[in-house]
Amino acid sequence: MKRVKVAPSILSADFTNLGRDINKVEAAGADWLHIDVMDGMFVPNITIGAPVVKSIRKITNLALDVHLMIVNPIRYVEDFANAGADYITVHVEACEENLKETIDLIKQKGVKAGVSVKPGTPAEKIRPVLNDLDLILVMTVEPGFGGQLFMVEMIPKIREIKKMLRENNLFNTCIEIDGGINAETAKLVKEAGADVLVAGSYIYNAENIAEAVNSLR
């Protein structure tokens, strides 16, 4: 099986020692850094904004994978692009009127564009913009919090998206999985077609972070 990328989520880091906790996963061989942005509207939780991303950009070489769980994300694309995001992912449910416009703006800013679907959203919702994406993020928990249980019923959706990409010869678009990833669930999603695995609590709660990162590959 191909080597998947691992993107630790700082949502489970110690925010009083954020720099240290980012350096830890970088030293452990992580590929990307996953940054969960929540607005208390699209999801019932508030996390961090562009100024924090800007500070993170200065202390790590990891690709910054920014997951926007905010209403009408087009309003903040420029801020996160300027802050140094390498990937900006928006939710289809958060921008139904202007999804294509939002993706175009992300790309115009020189950032790779991703779209995410919540567990209740069918894969078909991505089809209208399929050709425009660098990444598709499949949520395997309800977005909002770390440390939730993996929803195994999302596996068919991952397979369906893999098939859609293959049928359209989109071999460079990656499938990222977010929520409840550990060594066991990683096997299931890799087998279904995942290219990038987000993991928060599994990595940050581990005794040995390098071992935890490697166990996902």
Q: Is 86 annotated in the active site?
A: no
Please identify, using beta-carbon distances, which residue of 139 and 165 lies nearer to ligand DX5.
139
Amino acid code (one letter) for 29:
G
Q: Is 178 annotated in the active site?
A: yes
Catalytic residue among 21, 36, 65, 134: 36
Compute the distance between CA of residue 62 and CA of residue 32 in angstroms, rounded to an integer. Answer: 5
Please identify, using beta-carbon distances, which residue of 67 and 190 lies nearer to Zn ion.
67
Compute the distance between CA of residue 102 and CA of residue 90 in angstroms, rounded to an integer. Answer: 8
Q: Which residues bind Zn ion (CB under 5 A)?
A: 36, 67, 178
By the rule CB under 6 A, 8 interacts with ligand DX5: no
Please identify, using beta-carbon distances, which residue of 37 and 208 lies nearer to Zn ion.
37
Please identify, using beta-carbon distances, which residue of 5 and 67 lies nearer to Zn ion.
67
Asked whether the beta carbons of 80 and 53 are under 8 A apart, the reply is yes
Compute the distance between CA of residue 111 and CA of residue 106 in angstroms, rounded to an integer. Answer: 6
**Closest CB 159 distance from Zn ion, rounded Å:** 21
Phi, psi of 99 (to 5 degrees): -60, -50
Candidates 13-21, 93-101, 145-153, 188-196: pick the segment binding ligand DX5 (CB under 6 A): 145-153
| DSSP three-state, residue 171 | coil
By the rule CB under 6 A, 60 interacts with ligand DX5: no
Amino acid code (one letter) for 109:
K
Tokens of 214: 């490697």
**Closest CB 117 distance from ligand DX5, rounded Å:** 12
By the rule CB under 6 A, 81 interacts with ligand DX5: no
How wide is the angle at C-alpha 22 spanned by C-alphas 180 and 83, nearest 5°?
A: 100
Nearest C-alpha neighbor of 5 from the set 180, 148, 186, 211 = 186
**Closest CB 168 distance from ligand DX5, rounded Å:** 26
- The residues of the shown chain that bind ligand DX5, judged by CB under 6 A, are 9, 11-12, 34, 36, 67, 141, 143-144, 146-148, 178-181, 198-202
Active site residues: 36, 178
